[in-house]
Amino acid sequence: MIAEILSTGDEIRSGALIDSNSAYIAQLLEASGVTVSRHHSAGDDAPVLIDMIRDMAGRADMAVVTGGLGPTSDDITSAAAATAGNVPLVLDPEARIQIERFFQRIGRPMSASNIKQAYFPDGAVCIENPIGSAPGFQQRIGTCDLFFLPGVPAEMRKMMKESVLPAIKKIQGDDVQKSRIHTLSTFGLTESATGEKLADFASAFPHIKLGFRAKFPEIQVKFYLHGPDHDALEKEIALAIQWVKQRLGDAVFSPVGASMESVVGTLLTERHATLAIAESCTGGLISHLITNVSGSSNYLLYSAVTYANSAKINTLGVSRETLNQYGAVSEQTVTEMALGIRSAAGSDFGLATSGIAGPDGGSDDKPVGTVWIGLATASGVTARQFVFRFKNREANKQIFAMTAMNMLRRELIKEHECN
Amino acid sequence: MIAEILSTGDEIRSGALIDSNSAYIAQLLEASGVTVSRHHSAGDDAPVLIDMIRDMAGRADMAVVTGGLGPTSDDITSAAAATAGNVPLVLDPEARIQIERFFQRIGRPMSASNIKQAYFPDGAVCIENPIGSAPGFQQRIGTCDLFFLPGVPAEMRKMMKESVLPAIKKIQGDDVQKSRIHTLSTFGLTESATGEKLADFASAFPHIKLGFRAKFPEIQVKFYLHGPDHDALEKEIALAIQWVKQRLGDAVFSPVGASMESVVGTLLTERHATLAIAESCTGGLISHLITNVSGSSNYLLYSAVTYANSAKINTLGVSRETLNQYGAVSEQTVTEMALGIRSAAGSDFGLATSGIAGPDGGSDDKPVGTVWIGLATASGVTARQFVFRFKNREANKQIFAMTAMNMLRRELIKEHECN
């Protein structure tokens, strides 16, 4: 079954509001074995809406339309649907009862304008709205089943789950194709390098469509596949994961699409290890990401954002001579920062960053994008320099933080392998 | 001029990713006097893309298409555009030079698959991508000008502003209605409370359409207006800002849509004041936000993420008795944290947070969403408790951080008013 989605409203058309309804609907439909082919948005403009509804009905097996079912004058979806289907608008007694019940429930008088919400295209079937005033409706135009729902996300979501999905199931009968999207998280290769390493994926896995998504600074590798048998899909995915991991090696930091901070968190938890962080150029971002993971208070003991040299000296015990001789962005300073934070916190690992996020502060010697990362462990301390070519402050903070967490991740895996 | 927008990619089609590009593009186009009529999304599916591009070219004066210009096999937009325009794909020498220059700039070898990104429909004109590897192109099909841009938001945004808008201006000539969208940033009132306080806006400013956008945890108030005279629009906006500020008072923290961290940064800079932060529940988020502002190293001296009690004791000098008697989330502890960080850093202001971000760790007494915020200044220390009703960790971190920065902002304004 092929589906299309239409979201209506001037705030979406003009860009004042980002349409998140369509993504939600697409996910639900795809998970139910319906292939979503196109999304559309249009404003509260009758000729455009009529045109779009007719086009969708001509192309797709089903469609979901959101918005424009309210009581005000700019709510014109039902009228457009009636015109598109060449039928009159008629009062739906069931819808009228539901609207009256809604106002009884919230204890407010029903206003005359709400009666308008009970008028549907002739032949349409009312869809109950369990939480709002606007019922939806299901209408057949040609060979296409169209579901019209309000645009309020909470109402739309409930009606999708409680009414639209069961109706689709009935239409599908036994002939259901399961769909699966699987994501792997990678870091360290460019999108094009990733693509080249996986160039012969299609011949190895002809039933999986491969996709790439740059979710800076990660590159996500995505599998899109569908078939009638859930277990067969999962088996195919497991084989494809192994295949991709062989090609991309250590760049795959999560075969199940997890974030770097949760991967690091899991590794620390498994090893009963604790962490302390000294951030200069990353300005607290590593700590923020690490603490986004629930339970991070079990392994993150302490983290210091030591922007000023005085803070590096007083809090981390970096020596004034080191700062004078080598500067804040140096192997020597970041080494002392990593050792200093580990010792101050009494943690197993001490992670430190010092670099130039920009846009100012770069030099020929140390351009914007330069970062030193230090990692202190029970067995010593290592420091590495990386130079990224971004001029943008936030981009540099993101990639510095990711690189630092990745260095910790590699250390945690290595320690494990040596045991 | 009528425009349409098409965003491509399986992750958008399938709902794995919410399309925010189209809203951004729609806003820019509308602000430039172009009427956006329809948005569409489709996957990496050649027949569908060809069909959509042809339909748009037949209906609209111009179109913006994003995504599918990368080096991998699922990037098929250029090929679809060529077919839609009935022209062959040809190597664009200018695009090739730009791609080569990009790889020189980032100091990585250009791989063979990147050459694919220099193939455009015959007759198309290259659009420079100043920050990424994928150039865009402008193609005319029938009477429609189509602009093809990469889907990476940062690249698309830069190219919209630097290339597409100037090209549109050239097409428009002198016959332009100026459009303006103006944003005010507010914090502290719900969206419905904000709406109610501004209920009679329409009668006071009949030419301005009012909009609200929840950009959690902010509520943005937006003015949409257009007319032929730039100065008249700006005058109207200035009056409307005054009107809104009278109704919403201190909730308006920026009348020009700036972020809280940049407002606080400007106030600190103006007053030559320095800041230190002790974060518990916010886990580094306040520091991350503050350091997103370029020049923040001038006022942020030091910040400590003191998750563990030991870190609160050792780094901030919080007394063990206080922690034992009152707990980490208490007026007493956050007071000592604020005083401790201010004294450790030698800063003018010491800001501290201690709370329960969740999802675990709450109690009847101190439920998830409880936060104590302390602010130490030259004249003493104040602590305030806030209880939010979110159960979500990231939402709580966001609103705790915003509330803490807002407390600092109010102090900075108050100090100024007293001088």
Say whether B397 and A288 touch across the interface (CB within 8 A): yes
Q: What is the pLDDT of residue A117?
A: 92
The pLDDT tens digits of the residues spanning A160-210 come to 999 999 999 998 887 677 778 899 999 999 888 999 999 999 999 999 989
Residues B113/A195, Cβ–Cβ less than 8 Å: yes
- A chain contacts of residue B114, beta-carbon cutoff 8 Å: 192
The average pLDDT across B325-346 equals 96
Q: Distance between the two ends of chain B, CA-based, in angstroms? A: 54
Q: Is the dihedral of CA B200, B202, B208, B214 positive or negative?
A: positive
| Of the residues A254, A269, A304, the one at which a domain ends | A254
pLDDT score for B227: 82
Please classify residue B368 by burial: count the beta carbons closer than 10 Å to its beta carbon, then call 0-12 exposed, 13-18 middle and 19+ buried. Answer: buried
Mean pLDDT over residues A113-123, rounded?
92
- pLDDT over 80 (residue A111): no
Residues B356-367, mean pLDDT to the nearest whole number: 91
B417 confidence band (pLDDT: 50, 70, 90) = low
What CATH number is given to the structural domain containing B184? 3.30.70.2860
**Is it the case that residue A350 has pLDDT exceeding 60?**
yes
The answer to whether residue B329 scores a pLDDT higher than 90 is: yes
- Is the minimum CB–CB distance between B192 and chain A shorter than 8 Å? no
Count of domains observed in chain A: 3
d(CA A16, CA A79): 25
Which residue, of B172, B189, B206, is where some domain finishes?
Answer: B172
Number of other residues whose CB lies within 10 A of the CB of residue A48? 18
Q: Return the pLDDT at B416.
A: 63
In this structure, are residues A22 and A7 in contact, taking their beta carbons and an 8 Å threshold?
yes
Average pLDDT, integer, range A88-101: 94
Residue B46 has pLDDT above 70, yes or no: yes
Tell me the mean pLDDT in the region B326-354.
97
Q: Mean of the pLDDT values across residues B310-337?
A: 95
Q: Give φ, ψ of B102 to 5 degrees.
A: -60, -45
Token pair in block for residue A397:
């903070």
**Do residues B219 and B266 both lie within one domain?**
no
Mean pLDDT (chain A, rounded): 93
A213 touches chain B (CB under 8 A): yes
**Residue B209 CB contacts under 8 Å (≥ 6 apart), including other chains:** B223, B224, B225
Q: Does A211 touch chain B (CB under 8 A)?
A: yes
Nearest in space to B347 (alpha carbons), one of A310, A282, A327, A285: A310
**Residue A290 to residues B96, B113, B144, B398, Cα–Cα distance (Å):** 41, 36, 49, 15
Of B30, B279, B282, the CB nearest to A14: B30
CB contacts of B223 in chain A (<8 Å) are none
CA nearest A397: which of A280, A309, A311? Answer: A280
Provide φ and ψ at A61, rounded to 5°: -85, -30
A207-217: average pLDDT: 88
CB A265 within 8 A of CB A295: yes
CA pair distance A279, A120, nearest whole angstrom: 60
B144 and B275 assigned to the same domain: no
B106 vs B402, residue with greater confidence? B402
Scanning A302-419, the segments in alpha helix (DSSP H) are: 309-316, 320-326, 331-345, 393-418
What is the tens place of the pLDDT at every residue in B57-67? 999 999 999 99
B119 and B248: one domain? Answer: no
Same domain, B211 and B287: no
pLDDT recorded at residue B230: 83
Q: Which of A392-406, B182-196, B349-363 has the lowest mean pLDDT?
A: B182-196
**pLDDT score for B72:** 87
Q: Judge whether B40 is closer than 8 Å to chain A, CB to CB.
A: yes
A370: left (phi over 0), alpha (psi -120 to 50) or beta: beta
Residue A153 and residue A64 share a domain: yes
Q: Is A339 left (phi over 0), alpha (psi -120 to 50) or beta?
A: alpha
Residue B393: name the closest of B354, B352, B356, B353 by CA: B356
CB contact under 8 A, A214 and B152: yes
Q: Do A39 and B36 touch (CB under 8 A)?
A: no
pLDDT digit string (tens) for A127-146?
Answer: 999 988 899 999 999 999 99
User: Does residue B243 carry a pLDDT above 90?
Assistant: yes
Q: Which range, of A306-310, B22-26, B160-164, B190-194, averages the lowest pLDDT?
A: B190-194
Portion of chain B with pLDDT greater than 70, in percent? 97
Q: Which residues in A lie closer than 8 A to residue B301 (C-beta atoms)? A: 307-308, 310-311
A73 touches B: beta carbon within 8 Å: no
Pick from B5, B38, B360 the residue to mutate for testing the A interface (most A CBs within 10 Å).
B38
Calpha distance B402→B353 (Å, rounded): 11
Q: Does B71 touch chain A (CB under 8 A)?
A: yes
Question: Does B72 sit within 8 Å of A212, measured CB to CB?
Answer: yes
When pLDDT is cut at 50, 70 and 90, the band that residue A377 belongs to is very high
Range of the domain at A209: 178-254
Residues in chain B with CB shorter than 8 Å from the CB of A393 are 292, 294
Q: Which residue has the higher pLDDT, B60 or A418?
A: B60
Each residue of A309-338: pLDDT tens digit? Answer: 999 999 999 999 999 999 999 999 999 999
Q: Does residue B413 share a domain with residue B330?
A: yes
pLDDT at A379: 94
Chain B contact for A90, CB < 8 A?
no
Query: B170-226, pLDDT tens digit by residue?
Result: 888 876 677 778 999 999 987 777 888 998 998 999 988 887 777 789 988 988 887
| Helix/strand/coil for A385 | strand
Does the distance separating the beta carbons of B37 and A30 come in below 8 Å?
no
Residue A108 has pLDDT above 80, yes or no: no
Give mean pLDDT, residues B229-257: 95
Spell out the residues 6+ positions from residue A243 whose beta carbon is closer than 8 angstroms to its own.
A201, A204, A205
| A212 and A95 assigned to the same domain | no
Using a CB–CB cutoff of 8 Å, tell me whether A349 touches chain B.
Answer: no
Reduced to 3 states (helix: H, G, I; strand: E, B; else coil), residue A302 is strand
Of the candidates B22, B36, B283, which has its C-beta nearest A291's C-beta? B283
Exposure pattern of A301-338 as b/e (b: 16+ CB <10 Å)? bbbbbbbbbbbbbebbebeeebbeebebbbbbbbbbbb
- pLDDT exceeds 80 at position B282: yes
Residues B42 and B124 in one domain: yes
What was the pLDDT predicted at A391?
83
pLDDT at A228: 83
| Inter-chain CB proximity A36 and B13 less than 8 Å | yes
Average pLDDT over residues A33-46: 93
Whether the CB of B318 is below 8 Å from some CB of chain A: the reply is no
Closest CA to B275 of A400, A307, A397, A266: A307
Q: Would you state the pLDDT for residue B77?
A: 97
- CA-based nearest residue to B310, from A352, A289, A347: A347
Of A17, A37, A277, the CB nearest to B213: A17
| Cα Rg of chain A, angstroms | 28
Q: What is the arithmetic mean of pLDDT over A90-104?
A: 92
Residues A270 and A413 in one domain: yes
Beta partners for A254? A185
Mean pLDDT of B135-163: 96
pLDDT tens profile B72-97: 888 999 999 999 999 999 999 999 99
**Same domain assignment for residues B100 and B249:** no
Domain end among B172, B199, B225: B172
Identify the sign of the CA torsion A108, A112, A117, A121.
positive
Higher pLDDT, A406 or B314: A406
Q: Looking at per-residue confidence, does B132 or B263 come out higher? A: B263
Co-location of A230 and A309 in the same domain: no
Hey, is the C-beta of B152 within 8 angstroms of any chain A C-beta? Answer: yes
Residues A141 and A199 in one domain: no
Q: How far is A122 from chain B (nearest CA, A)?
A: 27
pLDDT at B176: 67
Question: Percent of chain B scored above 90 by pLDDT?
Answer: 75
The structure tokens listed for B127 are 């659009």
Q: Could A294 and B72 be called an inter-chain contact, meaning their C-beta atoms sit closer than 8 Å?
A: no
pLDDT number for residue B373: 98
